[in-house]
Amino acid sequence: MEELDVRNRILSGTEELFMKYGVRSISMDDIARHLGVSKKTLYQHFADKDDLVTHVSSSHLERDIALFLELRKQSSNAIEELAKISMWIKEDLEKMNPTLLIDIQKYHPKAFHQWTRYKEEFVRKSVVQNIEQGKREGYFRPEVNAEVIALSRLLLLEAAFDDRHFPRDKFKLVDIQSQLFDLFVYGMCTDKGRNLYEEYKQRNENPTTITMKQTL
């Protein structure tokens, strides 16, 4: 049990550093110093930095999937689910260094493959499911093609991290994603859906609103 605790502590502490500073700028020395352990301890659990990055990514994505499934279970309709997703994304991006996924894409292909598979399999299917549910509930226009919109959503998610499109000295990642998310939702909505989404947005923007993690 103690070895498992050490491994989980390494994963958690490393993720904190990656979220704050990105991946490329963080060395195994930085991680050991942050955790107050020796590099030998790190290498007892992970072969090298690439192995550690891969396991941190896997752990993060597993938590994201569990949180999303719980979020979906607690949502009474497709619009509420999207409003909660918007709040969740905002909380995550406010803590994330915008270079994080770019670093992983450039220098850690195995970990990036995990993110790609998560996006193309889990996220795409979840978006399609939400759109079809919203159409049945009358919140989304019946002519909306769920597969087309889901794929376009993934492309916009990816584009937001590319500073060739959105220079970091001009745009904040959280603001980019917030604008693109609203564009995604409003483009599908009926009047009924738009009104409900506005209602949820007003609730979430209320200063007394508690965080997503506290609601789940």
CA torsion, points 111, 117, 118, 120, in degrees to nearest 10? 140
What residue spans define the domains of the chain? 53-215
The answer, yes or no, to whether residue 208 has pLDDT greater than 90, is no
0.85 surpassed by pTM = yes
Mean pLDDT of 58-74: 96
Q: How confident is the model at residue 214 (pLDDT cuts 50, 70, 90)?
A: very low
Q: Look at residue 209 in the predicted model and tell me its pLDDT.
A: 42
CATH classification of 53-215, choosing from 3.90.226.10, 1.10.357.10, 3.30.365.10, 3.40.50.10800? 1.10.357.10
CB 77 within 8 A of CB 135: no
Q: How confident is the model at residue 210, as a pLDDT?
A: 42
Q: 46's torsion region: left (phi>0), alpha (psi -120 to 50) or beta?
A: beta
- Of 100-114, 157-171, 181-195, the poorest mean pLDDT is in 157-171
Structure confidence at residue 1 (pLDDT) = 39
pLDDT digits (tens, 9 = 90+) for 131-185: 999 999 999 999 999 999 999 999 999 999 988 999 989 999 999 999 999 999 9
